[in-house]
Amino acid sequence: MTDFSAWTQACQARVERVLAEWLPPSDIAPKRLHEAMRYAVLGGGKRVRPLLAFAAGEVTGAAVEQVQHAAAAVELIHAYSLVHDDMPAMDDDALRRGKPTVHVEFDEATALLVGDALQSLAFEILAAQPLGGDATRQIGMIGALARACGSRGMAGGQAIDLANVGKALDLTELEFMHIHKTGALIRASVLLGAECGRLSAPDRAALDHYAKCIGLAFQIVDDVLDAEVPTATLGKTAGKDAANNKPTYVSLLGAARARELAFELRADACAALDPLGPTARRLRELADFVVERTF
Amino acid sequence: MTDFSAWTQACQARVERVLAEWLPPSDIAPKRLHEAMRYAVLGGGKRVRPLLAFAAGEVTGAAVEQVQHAAAAVELIHAYSLVHDDMPAMDDDALRRGKPTVHVEFDEATALLVGDALQSLAFEILAAQPLGGDATRQIGMIGALARACGSRGMAGGQAIDLANVGKALDLTELEFMHIHKTGALIRASVLLGAECGRLSAPDRAALDHYAKCIGLAFQIVDDVLDAEVPTATLGKTAGKDAANNKPTYVSLLGAARARELAFELRADACAALDPLGPTARRLRELADFVVERTF
């Protein structure tokens, strides 16, 4: 059994390969758009969502050759959301994954189209590959991803986030936002990976509880890092939340209590995995990775 | 057999109903986003793409209760593209379907998220409904729509359009742009409608040839109307192409020859329908509608 670091590197390399294959080459028209799509997606990011998909696939005995397409799809959705979120009309950020953001490196119109086309490509991949061995189940996966990124999922969370700038939120309202903004896609990542194998109803419920907890923990740690880690280490603009007067777990709870809450959520997430035994090993390790990461 | 006008009204009312049901109500959070999504989609537009889907479904004996979901999906993709295209980073337009554009009526961030969420909703609908009686075929339809709106379809056409502003194109280059920008989604509309029924390979080829011709004819007429019809009648800003120094069929050929070309494409489109007999009646009528419309 390989160690966690070797496993993540293998998964990251695998999803990178799939993404590089599916993203149209930059010598095919429209070249600038394709170049910008590759710029936005390849060679960066922790690939947390793909890692969650691969780890969940191990629980259900899924073939990694199938999970890799689900993993690529969720990463494309994540990448599109970053490109659009960074635009001047939204968070107006110039740095992402240690590089200039797409609208800075290219232009705003290209960034808009890059996001649009990456979303389409995610669904194209999910539809092009046989996943989970059953077409009806595969349609269910496509629907689950569409719901996760729509107005009652990720895009809705972004809208709630924007509406809340400068407002005093309580913890429940902040949680409501993050359940949508980051939580929905993280749940979908776990679900899609698991659905590539044989997923029983109780295992589905256990995995979903894990994913909910990990999604929130991920966001809390994001808030802590945004407040504590310098831009150079983070690869994106640090201190942004405070500068934008955005409510965060740190502004509501302080960094120490926020970190504690992330640890509690990890414990809750891992408790949900107990019935799954050793197949859930990578999910447990990922829970550690999510709360202990420093960038 | 009802006349064309009664048929279009029935189809438009049907797709409006489906869209109104699938768009989240504006009293559900995030309310402003949902309100803006409904504003962008409901109560306007000719619904040409849904009409093409319904008409193609008649050729293959598809159940209208299935086609209506494919029709709603292609209209949502079209609506999302209008919202994003009208934004300041793209065409920067203030008027659409006789109303202020979404970023004017709401704001730019909301317009961005509206487009994103409408695209997701299109795939959500296609995945939620049993279409065409066969899950594998349905996955094929989802993939076809994803390709049609991605970087080698509609979004790619938009990128080519932007790259060409102020450039002298020849007819081949202009056609290349429109095959992507409007043609791909129109072909997908015909295909998805037809796939809800029993579609043979020769019929598929005939319908696809029809759709290619109609897609181009539609764009040519759009160019003519943009040059000749006042803003109040058009419901969107007229004369925009000339003002933006965009190459069009009118700037390349003159309005008279452009109109002639549209009529030739109609003849070509209808010739392709010959083997399909009377089931293709609505498609023939739609070909007339597309080239003879005045707004």
In chain A, the domains with their CATH numbers are: 4-292 (1.10.600.10)
The region, left, alpha or beta by phi > 0 then psi within -120 to 50, assigned to residue B259 is: alpha
The shortest C-alpha distance from B288 to chain A (Å) reads: 32
Tens of pLDDT, residues B115-155: 999 999 999 999 998 888 789 999 999 999 999 999 999 99
Strands A99-100, B95-96: pairing is unpaired
Does the beta carbon of B89 lie under 8 angstroms from any beta carbon of chain A? yes
Does the beta carbon of A152 lie under 8 angstroms from any beta carbon of chain B? yes
Query: What is the percentage of chain B residues whose pLDDT exceeds 70?
Result: 100
Q: Nearest Cβ partner of B24 from A24, A145, A152?
A: A152
Which three-class secondary structure state does DSSP give residue B127? helix
Residue ranges of B 216-275 with Cβ closer than 8 A to chain A? none
B5-13: list long-range contacts, CB under 8 Å, 24+ apart.
B7/B282, B7/B285, B8/B51, B8/B289, B11/B47, B11/B50, B11/B51, B11/B54, B11/B71, B12/B47, B12/B50, B12/B51
Closest chain B CA to residue A158: B113
Write out chain A's pLDDT in tens, 295 residues. 689 999 999 999 999 999 999 999 999 999 999 999 999 999 888 999 999 999 999 999 999 999 999 999 999 999 999 999 999 999 899 999 889 999 999 999 999 999 999 999 999 999 998 888 789 999 999 999 999 999 999 999 999 999 988 888 889 999 999 999 999 999 999 999 999 999 999 999 999 999 999 999 999 999 999 888 777 777 777 777 777 778 899 999 999 999 999 999 999 999 999 999 999 999 999 999 999 988 7
Q: Nearest Cβ partner of B90 from A109, A146, A156?
A: A109
Strand runs labelled E in B78-144:
95-96, 99-100
User: Chain B residues with CB inside 8 Å of A128's CB?
Assistant: 143
CA gap B7, A283 in Å, rounded:
55
Q: Under an 8 A CB cutoff, do A151 and B30 touch? A: yes
Q: Which helix (H) or strand (E) holds A252?
A: helix A249-253
Tens of pLDDT, residues B11-26: 999 999 999 999 999 9
Bridge partners for B96 per DSSP: B99
DSSP conformation letters of B185-226: HHHHHHHHHHHTS---HHHHHHHHHHHHHHHHHHHHHHHHHH
Q: Under an 8 A CB cutoff, do B112 and A108 touch? A: no
A26-31: list long-range contacts, CB under 8 Å, 24+ apart.
A28/B152, A29/B156, A29/B160, A29/B176, A30/B151, A30/B156, A30/B159, A30/B160, A30/B163
What pLDDT, on the 0 to 100 scale, is given for residue A1?
Answer: 66
Identify whether the C-beta of residue B145 lies closer than 8 Å to the C-beta of residue B154.
Answer: no
Which three-class secondary structure state does DSSP give residue A271? helix
What pLDDT, on the 0 to 100 scale, is given for residue B80?
Answer: 98
Crossing angle of helices A154-164 and B108-128, in 10° steps, is: 160
User: Whole-number mean pLDDT of chain B?
Assistant: 94
Q: Nearest Cβ partner of B155 from A107, A120, A142?
A: A120
Q: Under an 8 A CB cutoff, do B156 and A117 touch? A: yes
pTM of the model: 0.96
Interface A:B, Cβ pairs < 8 A: 167
Best of A37, A116, A177 to substitute, by most chain B Cβ atoms within 10 angstroms, is A116
